[in-house]
Chain A
Amino acid sequence: MSLSAGGSAYEIWVGTLRAWAEDPHTSLDHLPPLDERSFSPDTYSRLMTHLVRSVEASSRRGVDALSSAFQHSTTPAELEVALVAVRPVLARRTQLVRHPSLPEPVRQTLEDAMRRELERAQQQIEDDLRRQGAGGRLDTDHLDRMLHVVRENRLTVVLERSYADAAGRLEVAPLPLVDRADAPPTRRFRPRRVVSAHSTED
């Protein structure tokens, strides 16, 4: 969904944030740059309140998605699928908090808050799994594998990726830069060279 860019910057931001809080697929592309000096302090404060509410709505969606992921995942593979499926939800929040139209201090504050929240959620997930293990609901091997999956698919990964579209998907793999038509086949092994006492490092 795209909002008209016909209103004031405030109206565009507030309208988009409200829509985005309801539907995270709402496009953020048209948001105009924000500058504290463009608004009165009260107006700017109200706008920040809208921003925080939208972020909180996104956070709740993320928590719900994570809860659902855990409820329906009994095997490591199911958990991995679920954790990867949660990423687009989390990634939408990344797109907002990193939006280039936000002032840098705001971006940094929101991103730091998001990172802390994800790290806390990550820790809670691991603790919860350990509690299940201690309570006998997961055997040691299963617990280790579930923990491995959770660590391998850590939530903070969404802060390390760039996302291409409103669906929050990862970027498409880049096209190869080299023309492979004439490229020789790649050897998988480096030639093995025995090391002697007299060998020198290249």
Chain B
Amino acid sequence: MPDSTRVRELLHRYLSARIPLIVIRTIEPNRALELLSSCASQLGTMAYYEYTRTEGIRDLMSGKSVLDEPSLHAALDHARTTFKARINANFVFSDVEEIDQESTTSRHLAEMVRLAESHQGSIILISSAPVWSGLGRLGISVELDLPSAEELAEVLGAMVEDHRGLVDIQWQYDDLRQASEILSGITEMEAINVLATMLAKGKLVPDDLPELSEFKDRIFGDLSGLQRIPLRGEYEVGGLTNLRRWLALREQAMRMDLSHTSFHPPRGVLLVGIPGCGKSLSAKAIATQWNLPLYRLDMAGILGMYVGQSESQLREALATADRVAPCVLWIDEIEKALATGPGDSGTSRRLLGQFLFWLQESTSKVFLVATANEIQSLPPELTRKGRFDEVFFVDLPNASDREEIIRLYFRRYLDHDVAPGLTADLVSLTDGFSGSEIDAVIHDLGLDAQAGGGGLPGDEQIRAHFRNVLPFSKSNPEDIASLRAWGQSRCIPAGDPIDGSAPVGGRRVVLSD
């Protein structure tokens, strides 16, 4: 969509060409009027008047009142007289109701446009909705998109500079640019409101940047289809060296200003692997590490019961993601909605097409972290190179990973370190355990300890708890083998192979609050 510079150029040409009706589609009438004022100052031989419900008719440039009456039709009557008396008059109307369909107002306007055309006049309509085709066909329409990050940086930068000396401002150029990127997707007025609210604290520091996302969420209110995930703790992903190395490079790309290059922002990753191995945690860790808000798209929740409802809800959710960008978008168990099969009446295939289109075409900084457990049901279109930036396979934790996880959860739930003699036994006993299974066992131990007065359970009791658990990898070895076989041929290992037994590399997730 054209940015404001392009729109200004177009408006200049339309006004010069004396197009009798110019429709500016925007939700920001003030920005449109500003562009028109800019054009008017260059095409100064013509007269420009603006009508609003609150002010009546005013001279566009001087703001001087011409007709202090709120009635639209009185304003049109006034315009009629002026058009008849003078050539090259321009009347700008905003906030006009009932012009999206055939109505008394739209027909009246159409008559006025014809009158304007016969006197080289122009009517400029600023509208957030499309106008009735019978009216729209008499002129030309142009869409003014929300301000780009660069435009916001200009506006916010001016405001920040205006407050230097009055407020303790520690933002540098990069902070301002990042703030503008975070706030892109909202109107100029909303961005000014957010920044003014931040400034009202009395200081502006780089640590304030995450707060901008919260303000943005409040502006959007109900984030249709998306759930904001609060990142309270400090999530840290250990191991997964390949993934971490790859992410470090993408983090730079997410922060870079790519608007004047031919590069697109990173699209995201697909994490497949064994259940409970921290794929979801990785999404949280990435958002935390990159200082971006995390939103979850529940694919199962997208599915609706009526024809077309699922597609509509997915479209809305993805549009919302574009608006809240930059962000990390976490899609858990992506296969739940996109797995295609003979029994789904085509809905999944349409959802897949819609999703792939968005993945391909979206230029907003939405970093997608999709996870999948039932990888066999993933359609091949989704995993081919070029869709996601990369597909990583996350395997079971190896021995050293398990030791670290055991220590972590002992400290968290039992408030103790593992006894030195016990560690090796537990590492051995947890062979084939996923991180979440280790978490669950130690959590139970902690609950038992609380119920028993808070004392540390005996070593034998601890061993017994682990022995009593049959991990998923043992109960479903064929599933694990199948997952690994799939991953080996299609994915990059998320970590470096350590145990030799692991076919596609090990992983280690360390969660610490």
Contact = CB atoms under 8 A, between A and B. Distances in A.
Contacts of A81: 73, 104, 108
Contacts of B76: 84
A184 interface: yes
B158 interface: yes
Contact of A177 (B33, B45, B62, B73): B62
A173 B57 contact: yes
Contacts of A183: 41, 44, 61
Contacts of A175: 47, 86
A37 to B, nearest CB: 40
Contacts of A186: 34, 37, 41, 60-61, 63
A111 interface: no
B62 A176 contact: yes
Interface stretch (B162-170, B362-370, B398-406): B162-170
Contacts of B77: 84, 87, 169-170
B111 to A, nearest CB: 10
Given A172-B85, A176-B61, A181 B47 contact: no
Nearest to A199: B166
Interface stretch (A15-23, A121-129, A190-198): A190-198
Given A80-B71, A193-B163, A187 B200 contact: no
The A interface is mostly helix, strand or loop, or mixed, namely loop
Nearest to A178: B62
Interface string A164-180: 10000111111111111
A184 B67 CA distance: 24
Nearest to A171: B81
Q: How large is the interface on A (under 10, 10 to 19, 20 to 34, 35 or more residues)?
A: 35 or more
B206 interface: no
Given A80-B73, A81-B73, A164-B81, A179 B196 contact: no
B57 A194 contact: no
Nearest to B77: A84
Given A180-B44, A187-B34, A77 B86 contact: no
B103 A172 contact: no
A141 B22 CA distance: 32
Interface of B: 30-31, 33-34, 37-38, 40-41, 44-45, 47-49, 57, 59-64, 66-67, 69-74, 76-82, 85-86, 89, 97-98, 103-105, 108, 158-159, 162-163, 166-167, 189, 192, 196, 199-200, 202
Chain A to chain B: the 10 pairs with minimum beta-carbon distance, closest first: A180-B44, A77-B104, A185-B38, A181-B44, A172-B85, A186-B37, A84-B73, A188-B30, A173-B82, A194-B199
12 contacts: A149-B71, A170-B67, A173-B57, A173-B66, A173-B81, A173-B82, A177-B64, A180-B40, A181-B41, A181-B44, A188-B37, A189-B192
Interface of A: 75, 77-78, 80-81, 83-84, 87, 149, 152-153, 157, 164, 169-189, 191-196
